[in-house]
Structure 1
Amino acid sequence: MGKSITASIIFEAQSLNYGEGIGNISELKKLTRNDGNYYSLETRQALTYDIRRLGNDIFGWNLQTVDKSKGTIQFKNEYTIKDSEEMDLFGYMKTAKKGDDDKGGSLIRSAAARVSTAISLEPYKSDMDFLSNKGFADRIGEHPNLANSEQHLSYYSYTFTIDLDKIGVDGDIKLSNEERAKRVNQFLDLVKILNRNIRGRQENLSPLFIIGGMYDIANPFFLGRIKLINNNQKFDINVEPLKNALEMTILDCNVKDNTGIGLVKGIFNNEEEILNITDNKLSVEGFFKDLKSRVNEYYGA
């Protein structure tokens, strides 16, 4: 029976993803919900960009795998998942032009590791930052250029899911179990220390709370169930949606029996209530160590 990993994360950060903007106003990417509030976000493309960036910085992932020889920027034909961790984890599409001996078409491999958009858990309330280059302008006796930038400091939540049976497998290619385990564990390490470089800042996307584990199917059980409650100027995590998710069963296996929680203490008001929803309660570091151990066990690495 195959196995998959899923986990949902809460982290705290500020102003993570900007859109096109209007005039001299830089606008955050946002969603509107039925409560009438705006919620800022970081797209899955931005999240996986930083996973790739850190994968290259820390583990030496090969990112020199793309070109524009076929008219669009895409992976080169000569590269496979054997050569590229990102192609293995996040999938690819390679297209071929129609020719005398070629019918064209595309070669697609779906992602084995899927990452959701990170959405703020606190509404955006129109905070703005007034900017100028006065320091530079003063040097040459000129008037400064002015700009405005939307700002939002908030908790965010996102979810990742990894199909362990798809890692390292693509057509006739099958990597060793040791290599497959290494790639999954590198992904987990990158999520644990994830950060984002944006507009002269480095934001910490490392989990303050994480819930998940290894399951018989690839399903984001806790996606959409991470909610905060404002309690005396400090936040609670609403445990009721999480409890409902833990009650689910798949193929005679209970979600709760395979789920762990990692928590940074001193952040959320209802720590004891959070930790009591499952028996496997750990620090964030302990959560990742436990999950990596189970990955190694599954692959026999």
Structure 2
Amino acid sequence: MNSKLKALTFSIVLQAQSLNYGEGIANISELKKLTRSDGNMYTFASRQCLRFDIVRLAAELFGWNLQVVDKSKGTVQFRDDVTIEDSEEMDLFGYMKTNKKETENKGGSLTREATVRLSNAISLEPYRSDMDFLNNKGMADRIGEHPNLANVEQHLSFYTYTVTIDLSKVGKDKDIELDNKIKAQRVIQLLEVIKILNRNIRGRQENLGPLFVIGGMYEVANPFFLGRINLKSNQTGYEINTDAIKSVVNSKFLGKEIKQNTYVGFVDGIFNNKQEFVELMNDKVVSVDEFFENLIKGVKEYYEVQ
């Protein structure tokens, strides 16, 4: 194995609408939101929400095994007889299995940390209290009844989230270690899913595929670009702010510039300042598809598979 470049991380920008709702109040469906000191509210899709759709789509496309949970101990969790050998989800996203005997396993649970880390998907544009008024008048009219009313918060925005994968920990759990071909296959399938990720919500299917992505393979599993993605907008359109990104790619780790292993992927026609990234990254600005092909190539090289 290539022991140096053992991890990959990338931050994605996507565009979508109203991705994740909370509990709500009365007949108002509220989006999940955060408040910053600038006085603005920003909507977000939780990492659990992203994980749900990654696993759902991976099961549809690649047959990931989801029949791995039960409620035999009073709470829904992964089954005791299932290991990472049986479950791609447990391998990549970790697990916790509670144990009834408090004296066992230091607190009564078996755990394994996730090898794939997801951040929340945070909106890059503030929420401005847009609402959608809904009713079921069409159905109510059929039986001469008054319609039911609802108010639903709406937010169309660019969002950003970050994925970090420690390749050295994939396929390993206690006395289990999977074949390198299986390790590589699982990571590659994950990357293929993220490239075309979508979310089914309230009768809509939102496209969560990347419009912009930056990252690569590195010597450490660190989310270098998390919190460094900002949006600029004016009458001519949108731009990805390069100031914070420039500071990251020009910084050094173990004596090497982060830029050496970093690529940028663009979908053309969305952001107006692609040329700024070309000047910053030279020949490392590619299409989104080429960006993921580079990652897949690196994964195969790390695990020494074809």
Same fold (TM over 0.5): yes
What corresponds to 1:193 in structure 2?
A: 196
Counterpart contact for 1:128–1:151, Cα < 8 Å:
yes
CA displacement at 1:152 relative to structure 2: 0.2
> In the alignment, does 2:257 pair up with 1:247?
no
Does the alignment pair 1:119 with 2:158? no
| 2:265–2:291 CA contact under 8 A, matched in 1 | yes
Counterpart residue number, 2:290:
286
**Residue 181 of structure 1 aligns with which residue?**
184
- Label 1:126 to 1:102 Cα distance change in 2 as closer, same or farther (>3 A): closer
Q: Which runs of 5+ in 1 are unaligned?
A: none
1:113-262 pair list within 5 angstroms: 113-262=116-265
Contact preservation (8 Å) 2:102, 2:108:
no
Runs (4+) of structure 1 exceeding 6 A deviation are 99-104
Q: Which of these residues, 80, 83, 86, is aligned with residue 77 of structure 1?
A: 80
Q: Are the equivalent residues in 1 in contact too, given 2:277–2:285 (CA < 8 A)? A: no
More helix by share: 2
Q: How far apart in 1 are the matches of 2:52 and 2:180?
A: 26
Report the Cα distance in structure 2 between the residues aligned to 1:212 and 1:102, rounded to whole angstroms. 37
User: How far apart, CA to CA, are the structure 1 residues paired with 2:101 and 2:210?
Assistant: 47
Instruction: Return the letter of the residue paired with 2:140.
Output: A
What's the TM-score, normalizing by structure 1? Answer: 0.97
Question: For the residues of structure 2 that align with 1:145 and 1:93, how far apart are their CA atoms?
Answer: 42
Residue identity over aligned pairs, in percent, reads 61
Matching residue's letter, 1:56 = A
Which whole-Å deviations, capped at 9, do the CAs of 1:73-105 have from their partners, x for residues lacking one?
111011110100000000001111128999971
Cα pair distance change 1:226/1:62, threshold 3 Å: same
Are positions 1:13 and 2:10 aligned together?
A: no
| Aligned residue identity for 2:289 | E
* Deviation string, structure 1 residues 136-169 (Cα, Å, up to 9, x no partner): 0010011100100000000000000000000001
Of 264-273 and 244-253, deviating more is 244-253
Contact kept in structure 2, 1:37 and 1:123, CA below 8 Å: yes
SS in 1 for 2:134: strand
| 2:305 equivalent to 1:295 | no
Check whether the contact 2:232–2:240 (CA below 8 A) recurs between aligned residues.
yes
AA aligned to 2:50 is L
Taking only aligned residues, the RMSD between alpha carbons, in angstroms, comes to 1.5
Q: Is the 8 A contact 2:265 2:287 kept in 1?
A: yes
Q: Which amino acid aligns with 1:298?
A: Y
Which secondary structure does the structure 1 equivalent of 2:23 belong to? coil
Deviations 1:5-52 (A, max 9, x none): 000000000000001111111000000011101100000000000000
**Pair 1:41 & 2:44 matched:** yes
Change in CA separation of 1:104 and 1:7 when aligned onto 2, cut-off 3 Å: closer
> Structure 1: which amino acid aligns with 2:45?
E
1:107 is matched with: 110
